[in-house]
């Protein structure tokens, strides 16, 4: 923005030297108008930031309160430090099932996404760098499946899984994670951007087999793309709700989300109030995701933007 | 490309293709097949239920089911208010970011993306407690200003959910629109400024038309999500089952038909119907918004 960075001194000099600044003729001084506008813009963004952060701030405060403080103290400020008691409660309530749910969430999101990413990278590579009959059909299926409502897939999947005895086992969560059309789409886009045809040709002339090329050249060059695909799949699985609700019955296989949903329903169900437990648990369930997303910021941001290209 | 290489290339996609058949095509086919049957009580109901082929009866039933059609209408009406509002706020924030230096824009972008990083279930839990008259700070704040609001009242449930969705979605949509804005050639602004255009005029006449594609896309994604809304009302139902009943949204009805009523064929028919409605809505939206360009 060259117009606003120009100093007033420079403008004055320009005026003195006899060359009238072009902008002065057309309206008010753009520099001053820019400053007022800038203040307005900053105010808008600060308000939006407060709106974004306020619930998280409140959650952090609430996690430090006991049941009495939660109901009676000012919601916007601390009252007594009970964070350790709350954590103790969360991890011991119902025989420490919260830890089990955390481990489950890590298992489904971690292992499921890893397998899904590997399959997606192979598929994306195949689609982007080979011309085989039926390639168009496969790609059309990938893009077309973005529109399929979750209920249309999940309910019959539940019936099929129950027939082969997968319902209520970790496999019911892990198997669907292996096939992720959006990951395939991303992998194809990344392959197109990073793997040149010439490189593959050179490797072939050197006598490398196709599998060897994939595992020792393509996968290595796709670390960034692969990390993005993995991260987005991980977040997706960690956040999943409808699938686990449908295919998992017993508490011991639940995810964090299902567990928190169940705890938050206790108030209506049986009159037991576990609100402080739910809130502390909710805060805890954000932490692994927040750490991972901060550590891999550049990956998921490019993923979010790429998501827009589909 | 050599023939054998082509087939080796195809082989890389085989695991996905096999999985896609078992996890996508088969289930959809199975649902379509199931939807053609009905459970009938045989005799006096002593012999248990038997399946009978019933053709498209389930679909006819679904199309005349006032609860199902009502839930779709409810969600569509809500979408017509919430999505434009959320996109407008996202667009304004993206334009604001675009007017800042990239360093400052980066800082705000991270902060505004915080809600997006929070799982939907957790976001709903947090807002439900913020709304709660016993625990949350919003009711006392309302009292302070003389508002006597009840966020769980029948007339307030949708605005309450709408605020939750807006809070959760602004950052994501803003990032998409902002990255589209970054693609506008900067020379255009200089030229417009020299012609005496104000910053707001530049935003209206250059920037917004340029990001139309991103707006259509975010709109389309939001519509797809909204027609399938489930998590948020399900959590609200935990707190106010009398306001948010079990036929509040289309997917809630489908879930109930399948798992509480045990009427799986009907649930399958409804999910096929929902898929068709989703496809039509997306197509319609795409047509309407891309026609404006001409």
Yes or no, beta carbons of A155 and B97 under 8 Å apart: no
**More reliable by pLDDT, A293 or B258:** B258
Q: Is A304 on the interface with B (CB under 8 A)?
A: yes
| Alpha-carbon torsion, ordered B49, B53, B57, B59, to 10 deg | 100
The pLDDT value given to residue A270: 60
| Range(s) of the domain holding residue B232 | 57-293
Q: Is position B44 within any domain?
A: no
Region for A94 from its dihedrals, namely left if φ exceeds 0, alpha if ψ lies in -120 to 50, beta otherwise: left
Yes or no, beta carbons of A131 and B9 under 8 Å apart: yes
pTM of this prediction? 0.86
On whether the CB atoms of residues B216 and B224 are closer than 8 A, the answer is: no
Overall average pLDDT of the A195-199 stretch: 91
Q: Is position B151 within any domain?
A: yes
Q: Is A263 on the interface with B (CB under 8 A)?
A: no
Yes or no, beta carbons of B238 and A257 under 8 Å apart: no
Burial class of residue A169 in the structure, from the number of CB atoms within 10 Å of its CB (0-12 exposed, 13-18 middle, 19+ buried): middle
On whether the CB atoms of residues B235 and A264 are closer than 8 A, the answer is: yes
Yes or no, beta carbons of A159 and B11 under 8 Å apart: no
Q: Is position B108 within any domain?
A: yes
Yes or no, beta carbons of A307 and B176 under 8 Å apart: yes
Would you say residue A82 has pLDDT above 90? Answer: no
Whole-number CA gyration radius for chain A: 27
Q: Is A44 on the interface with B (CB under 8 A)?
A: yes
Please report residues of B whose CB lies closer than 8 A to that of A150.
Answer: 228, 230, 251
| Most confident of the ranges A261-270, B95-104, B204-213, B225-234 | B225-234
End-to-end CA, chain B: 41
Would you say residue A23 has pLDDT above 50? Answer: no
In which band, very low, low, confident or very high, does the pLDDT at A15 lie, cut at 50, 70 and 90?
very low
- How far is it, in rounded angstroms, from Cα A187 to Cα A101? 30
Yes or no, beta carbons of B196 and A26 under 8 Å apart: yes
Q: Residue B107 in 3-state DSSP?
A: helix
- How far is it, in rounded angstroms, from Cα B121 to Cα A245? 12
Please report residues of B whose CB lies closer than 8 A to that of A214.
Answer: 12
Yes or no, beta carbons of B15 and A159 under 8 Å apart: no
| Percentage of residues in chain B having pLDDT higher than 70 | 95
Q: Tens of pLDDT along A242-252?
A: 999 999 999 99
- How far is it, in rounded angstroms, from Cα A112 to Cα A152? 21
Q: Is position B30 within any domain?
A: no
**Helices marked H in A63-149 — which ranges?**
67-72, 83-129, 135-144
Please report residues of A whose CB lies closer than 8 A to that of B23.
Answer: 153, 157, 175-176, 178-179
The pLDDT value given to residue A149: 87
On whether the CB atoms of residues A82 and A70 are closer than 8 A, the answer is: no
ipTM: 0.89
Yes or no, beta carbons of A27 and B196 under 8 Å apart: yes
Overall average pLDDT of the B69-81 stretch: 94
**More reliable by pLDDT, A202 or A76:** A202
Yes or no, beta carbons of A75 and B140 under 8 Å apart: yes
Q: Which residues are CB-contacts of B206 (< 8 A; sequence separation ≥ 6)?
A: B184, B188, B189, B192
Lowest-pLDDT range of B119-128, B206-215, B228-237: B206-215
Please report residues of B whose CB lies closer than 8 A to that of A301.
Answer: 175
Q: Which of A127, A156, A267 sits opposite B27 (nearest CB)?
A: A156
Yes or no, beta carbons of A52 and B17 under 8 Å apart: no
On whether the CB atoms of residues B28 and A152 are closer than 8 A, the answer is: yes
Domain count, chain B: 1
Q: Which of B9, B30, B190 sits opposite A159 (nearest CB)?
A: B30
Residue A135, min C-alpha distance to chain B (Å) = 8
What tokens were used for A134? 């039926």
Please report residues of B whose CB lies closer than 8 A to that of A184.
Answer: 16
Chosen from A36, A48, A191, A233 to mutate, greatest number of chain B CBs within 10 A: A48
Q: Tens of pLDDT along A106-152?
A: 999 999 999 999 999 999 999 999 999 999 999 999 988 888 888 89
Q: Is position B9 within any domain?
A: no
Q: Is A147 on the interface with B (CB under 8 A)?
A: yes
Burial class of residue A114 in the structure, from the number of CB atoms within 10 Å of its CB (0-12 exposed, 13-18 middle, 19+ buried): middle
Lowest-pLDDT range of A30-39, A161-170, B155-164: A30-39
Would you say residue A32 has pLDDT above 70? Answer: no
Please report residues of B whose CB lies closer than 8 A to that of A272.
Answer: none
Q: Is position B188 within any domain?
A: yes
Please report residues of A whose CB lies closer than 8 A to that of B257.
Answer: none
| CA-based nearest residue in chain B for residue A300 | B117
Q: Is position B163 within any domain?
A: yes
Residue A39, min C-alpha distance to chain B (Å) = 11
Give the single-character DSSP code of A49: H
Q: What is the mean pLDDT of chain A?
A: 83
- How far is it, in rounded angstroms, from Cα B141 to Cα B137? 6
Q: Residue B50 in 3-state DSSP?
A: strand
CATH number, domain of B102, equals 1.10.3720.10
Residue A132, min C-alpha distance to chain B (Å) = 5
Yes or no, beta carbons of B114 and A52 under 8 Å apart: yes
Q: Is position B2 within any domain?
A: no
A:B CB pairs within 8 Å = 266
Chosen from A65, A117, A156, A296 to mutate, greatest number of chain B CBs within 10 A: A156
In which band, very low, low, confident or very high, does the pLDDT at A54 lie, cut at 50, 70 and 90?
very high
Which of 71-100 (A) contact B at CB < 8 A? 71, 74-76
Q: Which of B118, B130, B227 sits opposite A58 (nearest CB)?
A: B130
The pLDDT value given to residue B238: 85
């Amino acid at each position: 923005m060259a117009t606003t960075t120009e100093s007033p001194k420079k403008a004055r000099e320009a005026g003195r030297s006899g060359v009238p600044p072009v902008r002065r003729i057309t309206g008010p001084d753009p520099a001053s108008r820019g400053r007022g506008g800038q203040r307005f813009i900053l105010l808008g963004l600060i308000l939006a930031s407060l709106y974004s952060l306020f619930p998280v701030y409140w959650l952090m405060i609430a996690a430090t309160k006991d049941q009495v403080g939660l109901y009676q103290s000012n919601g916007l400020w601390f009252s007594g430090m009970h964070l350790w008691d709350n954590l103790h409660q969360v991890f011991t309530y119902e025989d420490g099932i919260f830890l089990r749910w955390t481990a489950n969430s890590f298992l489904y999101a971690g292992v499921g996404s890893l397998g899904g990413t590997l399959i997606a990278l192979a598929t994306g590579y195949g689609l982007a760098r080979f011309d085989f009959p039926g390639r168009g059909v496969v790609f059309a299926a990938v893009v077309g499946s973005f529109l399929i409502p979750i209920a249309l897939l999940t309910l019959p999947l539940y019936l099929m899984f129950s027939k082969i005895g997968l319902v209520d086992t970790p496999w019911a969560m892990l198997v669907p994670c292996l096939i992720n059309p959006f990951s395939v789409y991303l992998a194809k886009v990344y392959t197109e951007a990073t793997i040149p045809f010439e490189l593959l040709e050179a490797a072939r002339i050197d006598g490398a087999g196709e599998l060897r090329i994939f595992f020792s050249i393509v996968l290595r060059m796709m670390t960034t793309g692969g990390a993005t695909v993995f991260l987005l799949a991980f977040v997706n699985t960690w956040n999943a709700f409808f699938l686990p609700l449908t295919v998992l019955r017993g508490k011991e296989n639940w995810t964090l989300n299902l567990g928190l949903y169940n705890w938050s329903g206790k108030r209506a169900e049986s009159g037991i109030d576990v609100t402080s437990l739910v809130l502390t648990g909710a805060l805890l369930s954000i932490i692994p995701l927040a750490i991972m997303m901060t550590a891999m910021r550049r990956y998921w941001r490019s993923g979010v933007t790429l998501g827009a290209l589909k | 490309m050599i023939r054998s290489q082509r087939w080796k290339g195809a082989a890389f996609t085989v695991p996905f293709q096999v999985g896609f058949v078992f996890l996508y095509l088969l289930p959809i086919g199975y649902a379509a097949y199931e939807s053609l049957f009905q459970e009938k009580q045989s005799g006096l109901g002593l012999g248990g239920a038997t399946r009978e082929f019933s053709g498209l009866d389930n679909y006819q039933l679904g199309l005349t089911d006032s609860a199902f059609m009502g839930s779709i209408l409810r969600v569509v009406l809500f979408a017509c208010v919430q999505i434009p509002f959320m996109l407008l706020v996202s667009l304004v924030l993206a334009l604001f970011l675009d007017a800042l230096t990239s360093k400052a824009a980066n800082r705000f972008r991270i902060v505004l993306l915080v809600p997006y990083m929070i799982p939907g279930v957790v976001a709903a839990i947090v807002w439900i407690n913020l709304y709660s008259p016993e625990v949350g700070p919003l009711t006392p704040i309302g009292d302070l200003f003389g508002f006597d609001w009840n966020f769980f009242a029948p007339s307030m449930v949708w605005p309450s959910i709408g605020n939750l969705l807006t809070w959760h979605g602004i950052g994501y949509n803003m990032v998409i629109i902002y990255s589209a804005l970054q693609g506008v050639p900067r020379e255009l602004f200089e030229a417009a400024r020299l012609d005496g255009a104000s910053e707001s005029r530049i935003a209206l006449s250059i920037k917004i038309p340029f990001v139309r594609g991103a707006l259509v896309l975010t709109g389309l994604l939001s519509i797809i999500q909204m027609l399938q809304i489930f998590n948020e009302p399900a959590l609200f139902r935990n707190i106010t089952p009398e306001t948010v009943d079990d036929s509040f949204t289309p997917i809630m009805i489908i879930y109930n038909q399948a798992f509480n009523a045990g009427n799986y064929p009907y649930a399958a028919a409804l999910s096929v119907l929902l898929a068709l409605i989703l496809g039509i809505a997306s197509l319609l939206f795409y047509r309407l918004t891309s026609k404006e360009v001409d």
